[in-house]
Structure 1
């Protein structure tokens, strides 16, 4: 008798969302893909791959937005409604065995404290309680007790920067298939041990390149080696939102109750014990302090990268804060043209881009850009310079323009905001970052290609929606006490015992701690 191939649906919405920027994210920003187009996003599900051979995969709706401001309720309702409708179509045609829920975990929707849980509730209402659900998440996401309960399986990245994103998603699907096809004497739904940790830190202090995160995440393999363990996740949490779910957490799944609980507690205690040892991934300072070092650095320290971290568009910043660029251009080294070749990436300004494109390469223009969304720290900036290059067709920026000001300063202007993570982001514009003296980029920790290019670098603690100085942002709704907002835990240390979360088919009771 031929075994029926498992049928698995795929859906999810992902957006890392700052609650401290006035920016808002609309439905179009998610670039939703539906049906076969959703499956096509994942090369490991293409025809001829092992996963494609083992199951029938049916896409509903996948949407992934560039990190940004809160998702409007209207956009969420539109996308969630369409997702549910498409899932209803899948369920009408097929008997589902599983669902892969591809999310980030830090999406904030206007009026919702736990958007991913709300979305999964809607999904569960369609697929029913018996379908096994496996989620893949970013380690900068949040795992509330409610979300952990409604999911059966959870995987998350183990590297920051996220060089294991592909491997994590594959693991989520492999684990799902393993449970669906488990022998009759093995429970299809594993046990789940969840431990919330009262620590909330930015990713720039918890990169797995450095200690103590390197050792914490390195210990995952030891826990995975315990008998009866399926998967192990450690979440740093997302620091630039303000809800009760925002905190670190550990979640271990498997079939051996003792191993699952002991493994989760071990990692949680290790994370908690290391809390005071987390530090920024590079030397930090004010922007002026960082530029002082960059401009006086020796030749072997160039290109010198400076991270304008407060408006990082890949952490949720609006991308159009002009404060850093304005400060750079007021520097005497720039005015006196003694700074060498400097690249700044980037500032959005659709009208400025349009004017520069109309003028053409080689023309001198005066344009105004930035602060159309986030003008809390500085207003729009006016620049006069020569149009150095123009590029059309970028999936994020649409159109990019390089404006040369003060002869050797190259400012990238974009129609829409864009992160600059790859060398080609610069070279496609005719810029040579490896030959530059100083490169300022709106980012937190340097992504791998930038990290490899930088002879040295500093992280500037600049204002914006993802300000690294969390205490000046004004959190009011996170659970307290919470490190580093609170530091005296001597009298009442946190409860780091494992909470055994019931199966998604059983009711969740007790306090949400």
Structure 2
């Protein structure tokens, strides 16, 4: 790439991106309805740190192009990706031709999969680079559960990712990416970056920064970042439910001092490798039955049970009925005097149609779920009293709650993750009044974590099964921890790109 020209007093920066986390083991295919899209000024307005009057807003001329974002799911339909890619690439090309761009703020996830394609983010950033040439700096913000490829690192000068899991620093990370970009455009110094590939592939539920060793590992980033000649340092744990050669952990350090960023990246990679055997589940794991037993024995409420195998927040389809079917067969939950239990959720538009034709308070019988993913369990027969109905949820559409004894079954029209206490309260179910909450999630997101008096991470089957060996990866680069033994230590030396 050519050296940057003299920086402008007020640089011109375009904002674009496309983000989804895609499980290769999910039969769901992400289409237009799965994505929220933002064009033009909307793509800038969604970032509070770029609000008029803010320091960052005044530091550059920001222009929005196109941004699309979906909750996690399966692979993106090829035609949908092609359409969004075209809007991003051609939009950036037009902006650059109208008036040269100095930089691009690129908001991606890092674990997007597209039908019939490897390394979707690598494809996207290469297409952007081809459209705008080598002049503009690209600064990308990513999820630490992204899978970083060499082609992405080659095409993107500044790369950073979340440092917390759960991702309470998502907005902070995007702001950091913007600040890094503005800093380099103002100084005129083009950054170098050092990338290390680490042959580790672990699920997020074993690498939460709430607990060791990830907590201490990620805290090591701050002193590295504070070093002279370093702009940013980041660690990607990777996304375990994809199956591509780029699926592995990574470290990237960016800055202006080649030796410093190279040594820092190699050092962080070595620290990650050294603690690989120390990673374990963030919460008490167990079977679904063990989770129910613990919940029934608990004296403090509510007790949370994660239906982790079908977590929509990690790429689950959201309509796997394996857990629901078993709960419906447990008399200790379905008797009239059973503890109040919420089960969230399963989506089925046909079942919701039937339930919306009945009146609240009436007896209903409906089969629900397994229309998208029936591999581990067929549709569940839900019989009970139609407790309530709700319309207008932007993700779920219509929602019905059916009560059978103490069990409250939540059935939605479309996919929705119930990962916040507000999700339950919006449909009249108060989490603090429940004895047990079973929801499709892995580690608990902040508001559920705050109310949980006890918790079991239930190791249930599904598209994001925590038992990675049960999934059967075929295309990852071997050897890979924890799948394989290592007769010799891997080469973790960072490679520098300029």
Asked if 1:293 is matched to 2:294, the reply is: yes
**RMSD of Structure 2 on Structure 1 (CA):** 1.4
1:232-257 alpha-carbon deviations (Å, 9 max, x no partner): 01000000011110000100001122
Partner residue, 1:417: 415
1:20-68 alpha-carbon deviations (Å, 9 max, x no partner): 0111111332222111111121121121111111111111110001100
Q: In structure 1, what is the Cα distance between the partners aligned to 2:394 and 2:163?
A: 27
Matches within 5 A, 1:463-478: 463-478=461-476
Asked if 1:75 is matched to 2:74, the reply is: no
Match of 1:460 among 458, 461, 469: 458
Partner residue, 1:35: 40
Q: In structure 1, what is the Cα distance between the partners aligned to 2:419 and 2:335?
A: 30
Partner residue, 1:121: 126
Asked if 1:166 is matched to 2:171, the reply is: yes
Partner residue, 1:91: 96
Post-superposition shift, 1:335? 4.1
Partner residue, 1:437: 435
Post-superposition shift, 1:329? 1.1
State the secondary structure of the residue aligned to 1:17. Answer: coil
Q: Give the alignment's TM-score, normalised by structure 1.
A: 0.94
Name whichever of 43-52 and 472-481 sits farther off: 43-52
Question: Is the 8 Å Cα contact of residues 27 and 76 (structure 1) preserved in structure 2?
Answer: no
Match of 1:479 among 474, 477, 480: 477
1:427-449 alpha-carbon deviations (Å, 9 max, x no partner): 12111111211110000000000
Q: In structure 2, what is the Cα distance between the partners aligned to 1:136 and 1:288?
A: 40
1:121-155 alpha-carbon deviations (Å, 9 max, x no partner): 11112211111000000000011111111000011
Question: Is the 8 Å Cα contact of residues 9 and 60 (structure 1) preserved in structure 2?
Answer: yes
Post-superposition shift, 1:337? 4.3
Q: In structure 2, what is the Cα distance between the partners aligned to 1:340 and 1:46?
A: 47
Partner residue, 2:3: none
Partner residue, 1:279: 280
1:433-486 alpha-carbon deviations (Å, 9 max, x no partner): 112111100000000000011001010110110000000101011011101101
Q: In structure 2, what is the Cα distance between the partners aligned to 1:461 and 1:279?
A: 13
Q: In structure 2, what is the Cα distance between the partners aligned to 1:194 and 1:332?
A: 54
Q: In structure 2, what is the Cα distance between the partners aligned to 1:76 and 1:425?
A: 29
State the secondary structure of the residue aligned to 1:477. Answer: coil
Question: Is the 8 Å Cα contact of residues 366 and 382 (structure 2) preserved in structure 1?
Answer: yes
State the secondary structure of the residue aligned to 1:378. Answer: coil
Q: Give the alignment's TM-score, normalised by structure 2.
A: 0.96
Partner residue, 1:356: 355
Partner residue, 2:237: 236
Q: Given the superposition, is the C-alpha separation of residues 337 and 293 from structure 1 closer, same or farther in structure 2, using an over 3 Å criterion?
A: farther
Partner residue, 1:256: 257
Post-superposition shift, 1:258? 2.3
Post-superposition shift, 1:338? 5.2
Partner residue, 2:115: 110
State the secondary structure of the residue aligned to 1:82. Answer: helix
1:362-385 alpha-carbon deviations (Å, 9 max, x no partner): 222212210010000111112122
Partner residue, 1:177: 182
Question: Is the 8 Å Cα contact of residues 193 and 500 (structure 1) preserved in structure 2?
Answer: yes
Partner residue, 2:303: 304
1:323-377 alpha-carbon deviations (Å, 9 max, x no partner): 1000111113124445410000101011222222232322222122100100001
Q: In structure 1, what is the Cα distance between the partners aligned to 2:389 and 2:99?
A: 49
Partner residue, 1:132: 137
Q: In structure 1, what is the Cα distance between the partners aligned to 2:422 and 2:118?
A: 38
Partner residue, 2:494: 498
Q: Please, which runs of 5 or more residues in structure 2 have no aligned partner?
A: 1-6
1:406-428 alpha-carbon deviations (Å, 9 max, x no partner): 2x211111010101121111112
Q: In structure 1, what is the Cα distance between the partners aligned to 2:337 and 2:220?
A: 49
Partner residue, 2:266: 265
1:189-236 alpha-carbon deviations (Å, 9 max, x no partner): 211111111100000000000000001001111211222110001000
State the secondary structure of the residue aligned to 1:18. Answer: coil
Partner residue, 1:193: 194
1:244-277 alpha-carbon deviations (Å, 9 max, x no partner): 1000010000112222122112211111010000
Partner residue, 1:387: 386
Q: In structure 2, what is the Cα distance between the partners aligned to 1:257 and 1:21?
A: 41
Q: In structure 1, what is the Cα distance between the partners aligned to 2:98 and 2:358?
A: 56
Question: Is the 8 Å Cα contact of residues 27 and 78 (structure 1) preserved in structure 2?
Answer: no
Count of aligned residue pairs for this structure pair: 492
Q: In structure 2, what is the Cα distance between the partners aligned to 1:431 and 1:3?
A: 55
Partner residue, 2:4: none
Matches within 5 A, 1:195-214: 195-214=196-215
Question: Is the 8 Å Cα contact of residues 420 and 441 (structure 1) preserved in structure 2?
Answer: yes
Runs of at least 4 residues off by over 4 Å: none
Q: In structure 2, what is the Cα distance between the partners aligned to 1:141 and 1:110?
A: 18
Post-superposition shift, 1:386? 1.7
Q: In structure 1, what is the Cα distance between the partners aligned to 2:9 and 2:211?
A: 46
